[in-house]
A and B are shown apart, each in its own frame.
Chain A
Amino acid sequence: MNPRGSGRLLVSVVATFAGAIGALFTGAIEIGLLAAPWTVLLALGLANRRTADPHVVIRAMPGRVIVGDEVTVTATVDGVAGTVYGTIRDSAGRAQTPLATMADAGEATLRWPIDDLPWGTHDLGHLEVEISEPYGLVRWRGQVDQPTPVRVHPSPGDARQLLGPHRVRRTIGNHPSNAIGRGVEFADLRAYQPGDAVRDINWRVSARSQGLWVSERHSDRATDVILLLDSFIEEGTDATQLFGRAVEATMTIAEQHIGATDRVGLVELGGIVRWVDARPGRHQLHRIVDALLATTQYDNAADKDLTVIPPRALPPRSFVIALSPLTDRRFVDALFVLAARGHDIAVIESPPAGTDVVDMTPEMRTGRRLWEAERRMLRDRLTATGVATAPWRRGDHVDIALAELRRRRTLVRPVGVR
């Protein structure tokens, strides 16, 4: 920060000298008295100068919040005396209310409570600071940039529909498998054998027949869930909104499956390709959320395909839940490749908003019909390869899309699943 003289300093110096010289040369003490307040201001201002090389520290607490929660940004200015003015800007360039405070003991603290940050990662470390020394003769101005990231998570999803995989791992989880074992879902009945647990005895059936019968259940197993996010940018005014919804849905689904003890991973296929290896546990949810918060759309014409993704990011025969508007050929090709590799795939399709049919010219309507026919063909091709798709329309809760997807998945079988 650099000090600069203010208008007060200029007027004080000019008035003081003009008054002193005028009084001396004219012999009229009144001229000196006229400028006396400015002389006193100059003297008091210089005598009270205590600011030297101010040091600024910016902090944001907490560093991780949910949309709507309050983040308090604190800027501590050290080595200062006088009045401190500050304006914080977020990474989008929005200025928060300018604040002012006083510093008597060499340290001033400015606090901005901010509760309107949209989800994403924000850097709140851009501070425009101005220090007005006592009596306002000298002002320090400067811009301080200290990386102060704040991660704003979307509101926790309240989806109730959990997509069940066609294949499961051998570890215990929440998805019913075909195998018989410990679980909740009823599978079959068999005659009682020594060693069976008493709680497995089906008393109703046993009462109607000779001997004891026990209920067999499908064992509950976990699976590997890979969330495949399409971040190929598309032309259109609603691309950002579509993408934002997809990110929110991805977080909701990730939270659900991690709660079901699945190993969850993330693959973002788009202008930038990145991934988070599939792992279980709440920590994994944080890793996925962090990766998603850093996600954005990049316009990229390069041919990105699955070869750039390491095998551990896409475990064999894992359950892939894709979120995509299905408008980019590269992403659609990737879905076919994954299906051919034997992955169990479900696609939540967030169709882009089109122009209202009423406002269309006949040529536009024809074009629209062709485009819709192409999309239907694409969905049919995906279904033929065992990939179920369900639309997630604007304004609908993600649960509606998940319920539809569950229903459609009962009608398809991925490659290698009987």
Chain B
Amino acid sequence: MSADPRRTRGLVPAAASLVVAGATAVAIAIPAGHVRVAVSLVGAGLLTLAFAIGTRSERVAAVATIPVLSAAVLHIRMADESVALWALGVGCGWYVATELAWESMTRSIECRFEPAVARRRAEEIVSVVAVTLVIATAALSASSLAPPRTVVLEVAVTGLVLAAGASAIRRLTRT
């Protein structure tokens, strides 16, 4: 049984891009200015995209974003001041890059391309990013009104998150 050539064709560039993405993540762990970090993360994001397209696998595309994500988390942990807007930007870039990779895979593997469908996907991506920016900006603006963190509050919010997750999973598995 031989491997699907469509899935193995881009393994070498994909592996190279993963190595570079990991190296970028390590590099940004060294204390540096925000500009350098942002540039590094954009580079890592692009390489992630290349990786995803090269391997032609949605799961690999998702896993390959881990270096970018971990780099961002590392930077957040090390930052002296709040980098909320920066994190929001990276999050949106991460999402858009992954969506583009998936869309590219759909076109190349399944030979599907309809302009109307591509336009709808673009609208969906834009709407997700727009809604995210609006809600997150509003939440950040209202953060000064947030109550002080206590154990009780943390438990309550965790419970809410878990309840919402359980509800979402139940709704998904209903059909």
Contacts and interface: CB of A to CB of B under 8 A. Distances in A.
A138 interface: yes
Given A29-B84, A46-B172, A37 B161 contact: no
B79 to A, nearest CB: 8
Given A31-B76, A83-B117, A99-B114, A135 B62 contact: no
Contact of A8 (B72, B102, B149, B168): B102
B80 interface: no
A137 B128 CA distance: 13
Interface string A14-50: 0011001110111111110111111111101010010
Contacts of B58: 6-7
Given A16-B165, A24-B161, A101-B116, A37 B77 contact: no
Interface stretch (B9-17, B31-39, B88-96): B88-96
B19 interface: no
B120 to A, nearest CB: 6
A52 interface: yes
B58 to A, nearest CB: 3
Contacts of B86: 30
Interface in B128-143: 128-129, 131-132, 135-136, 140, 143
A17 B161 contact: yes
Contacts of A20: 161
A31 B172 contact: no
B8 interface: no
Interface residues of B, number: 55
A20 B92 CA distance: 16
Nearest to A82: B120
B87 A34 contact: yes
A21 B111 CA distance: 39
A37 B127 CA distance: 10
Contacts of B111: 98
B83 A24 contact: no
Contact of B95 (A21, A38, A134): A38
A79 to B, nearest CB: 12
A10 interface: yes
A100 interface: yes
Interface string B62-79: 100000010011001101
A38 to B, nearest CB: 6
B114 A30 contact: no
Contact of B114 (A28, A29, A41, A100): A100
B4 interface: no
Given A5-B172, A46-B168, A52-B175, A34 B72 contact: yes
A352 interface: no
B175 A24 contact: no
A99 B172 CA distance: 27
B110 A44 contact: no
Contacts, number: 122
Say whether chain A's binding surface is mostly helix, strand, loop, or mixed: helix
B124 A33 contact: no
Nearest to A99: B114
B91 A26 contact: no
A264 B141 CA distance: 89
Interface string B84-128: 101110111011101100100000001111101100110010011
A382 B6 CA distance: 61
Contacts of A39: 132
Interface string A83-102: 10100000000000011111
A36 B136 contact: yes
B114 A33 contact: no
A34 to B, nearest CB: 4
Given A3-B175, A7-B58, A31 B87 contact: yes
Nearest to B158: A24
B156 to A, nearest CB: 10
B135 A102 contact: no
A136 interface: yes
B120 A102 contact: yes
Given A34-B69, A44-B131, A21 B158 contact: yes
Scoring B84, B95, B113 by chain A CB atoms within 10 A of each residue's CB, the highest score goes to B95
Interface of A: 3, 5-11, 13, 16-17, 20-22, 24-31, 33-42, 44, 46, 49, 52, 83, 85, 98-102, 134-138
Interface of B: 58-59, 61-62, 69, 72-73, 76-77, 79, 82-84, 86-88, 90-92, 94-96, 98-99, 102, 110-114, 116-117, 120-121, 124, 127-129, 131-132, 135-136, 140, 143, 149, 154, 157-158, 161, 165, 168-169, 171-172, 175
Given A24-B154, A52-B175, 15 more contacts: A7-B62, A9-B172, A13-B165, A24-B157, A34-B91, A37-B132, A38-B95, A44-B128, A46-B171, A46-B172, A100-B112, A102-B117, A134-B124, A135-B128, A137-B172
23 contacts: A3-B175, A6-B58, A7-B59, A7-B61, A7-B62, A9-B172, A20-B161, A26-B77, A27-B149, A28-B76, A29-B143, A30-B83, A33-B91, A36-B135, A40-B135, A44-B128, A83-B117, A98-B110, A100-B112, A100-B117, A102-B120, A135-B128, A136-B102
